[in-house]
Amino acid sequence: MKIAVYLGSSSGTDEKYAKLTIAIGRWLIEHDHTLVYGAGSKGLMGLLADTVHQNQGKIIGVMPEFLLEQEKLYPGIDELYMVDTMSKRKQKMIDEAESFIALPGGPGTLEEVTEIISLIRLDQISGSCVLWNLDGYYQPLKNQLDRMIECGFLSADTIQRVHFITSMEELNAIFSE
């Protein structure tokens, strides 16, 4: 399965983010999944690509040309798509992936994963969206979705394929369905 992973292009302030990133990279390899990601070599993005590449996994990268200098293209990408804009990057990653995982990251990660949630809600994506809620990282987003349901702006049954998880057991259960 091709799985898009959204995560930080920086490393964050705690080693726990790197440990989780490496664990996800190993999980992708163990389950013979292809990584679809933003093609960068810095921060958690680079660490994830290193983990997958060093274990002979397949990597699909999507990079906007204007970010080449800032994000530095990862050299071990098997299939690379160069695009003009961030919007085209997001769309190409969506087109390439069958499911989606969000690890801790910044505003770009948040933007990408909220678009995936919206597309799932509109039944435009058939796969799952997993948000790794490490130490409550995505709890405010979960709370906001719950509030939208409570206030009648979102139906719970339209986001059944959106999962907030904290363990590999939960991840395995979602992708064994």
Contacts of 42 (CB under 8 A, 6+ apart): 9, 10, 71, 72
Number of domains in the chain: 1
Q: For 26-82, how does the pLDDT look when each residue is reduced to its tens digit (9 = 90+)?
A: 999 999 999 999 999 999 999 999 999 999 999 999 999 998 888 889 999 999 999
Contact 136, 43 (CB under 8 A): no
3-state secondary structure of 124: coil
Using one digit for the tens of pLDDT, what is the confidence trace for 86-143?
A: 999 999 999 999 999 999 999 999 999 999 999 999 999 999 999 999 999 999 999 9
Residue 82 is predicted with a pLDDT of 97
What is the pTM for the complete model shown? 0.95
Residue with tokens 């435009």: 124
Residue 149's contacts (CB-CB under 8 Å, 6 or more residues apart) are 155, 156
Q: What are phi and psi of 121, to 5 degrees?
A: -60, -35
The residue range of the domain holding 42 is 2-175
Task: Look up residue 127 and give its two tokens.
Answer: 């796969």
In 3D space, the residue among 90, 158, 87 whose CA is nearest the CA of residue 124 turns out to be 158
Secondary structure of residue 4 in the 3-state scheme: strand
Q: What are phi and psi of 38, to 5 degrees?
A: -75, 5
DSSP string, 149-166: HHTTSS-GGGGTTEEEE-
- pLDDT for 154 equals 96
- Domain containing 16 — which CATH number? 3.40.50.450
- The values of phi and psi at residue 125, to 5°, are -130, 135
How far is 4 from 19, CA to CA, in rounded Å? 19
Whether residue 177 has pLDDT greater than 80:
no
Tokens, residue 140: 């405010």
Asked if residue 41 lies in contact with residue 72, where contact means CB atoms within 8 angstroms, the answer is yes
3-class state of residue 135 by DSSP: helix
User: Tens digit of pLDDT for each residue in 38-49?
Assistant: 999 999 999 999
CA-wise closest residue to 60 among 108, 32, 96: 96
